Amino acid sequence: MRQTIRHVIPNGLTCLNLTAGILAILLSSKSVPGIREASLLILIAAFFDFFDGFLARRWNTVSDLGKELDSLADLVSFGVAPVLVAWHGGLIYWGVLGMLVLGGYMISGALRLARFNLQTPSIVHYRGLPITAAGLVICIAVLAFSWTLPPAALMVLVVVLAVLMNAPWSIPRFAGRAKT
């Protein structure tokens, strides 16, 4: 199959999503100053995540490679990176319990992505909350309420998001079609 620029750009955007997620992980290790920057990088990753699938669908260049690469990038950018943001955003004070909750979030996100890749794509809805949305909610909560959000509230939020990612409910899609 001959590769054109239209085949390369969507996967390139997915790689930019992954890069933003990796940088967010590195920045979040700086604790409080780094979690703001990391959260902003996760928001940027979401931009790339939206447009990689949008362009692949629009240009009819959806591929199995793109689908798998997208899920791996999403696990890093909206799974691992938000876990570190939440850890330094307050769950560090919960010690082992905070680690268990964040581990549960990661497992839930990985299961959600694996299940998504095995499903027949729906044009109108998702099954369960997408990991992208869950990761963004964590980052926005930490960014918006970093000085006033009690660690217990952040913990409850993370648990609720983990449950919603694998809930059997349908959630409307905004992009209109299945992801790459």
Q: What pLDDT band is residue 57 in, cutting at 50, 70 and 90?
A: confident
- At 32 the three-state DSSP class reads helix
Report, as an integer, the average pLDDT of 14-40: 90
Domain presence at residue 179: no
* 110 burial type by CB count under 10 A (0-12 exposed, 13-18 middle, 19+ buried): middle
Q: Are 57 and 14 in contact (CB under 8 A)?
A: no
Any domain includes 140: yes
Per-residue model confidence as pLDDT tens digits over 58-82:
999 888 899 999 999 999 999 999 9
Any idea what the CATH number is for the domain that residue 70 is in? 1.20.120.1760
pLDDT at 162: 98
pLDDT score for 5:
86
Quote the pTM value. 0.88
Instruction: Give the mean model confidence (pLDDT) for residues 120-127.
Output: 69
Which domain does 96 fall in, by range? 5-172
- Within-domain flag for 67: yes
Residue 177 lies in a domain: no
Asked, for residue 178, whether it belongs to a domain, the answer is no
The mean pLDDT of the chain is 89
Average pLDDT (90-105) is 96
Q: Is the pLDDT of residue 83 over 90?
A: yes
What domain count does the chain have?
1
Question: Of all helices (H) and strands (E), which one includes residue 165?
Answer: helix 151-165
Is pLDDT of 6 > 50? yes
Q: Per residue in 63-75, is it b (16+ CB within 10 Å) or e — as a string?
A: eeebbebbbebbb
In a domain, 42, yes or no: yes
Q: What percent of the chain has pLDDT over 90?
A: 64
Does residue 180 lie within any of the structural domains?
no
pLDDT category, 177, cuts 50, 70, 90? Answer: very low
pLDDT recorded at residue 19 = 98
45 belongs to a structural domain: yes
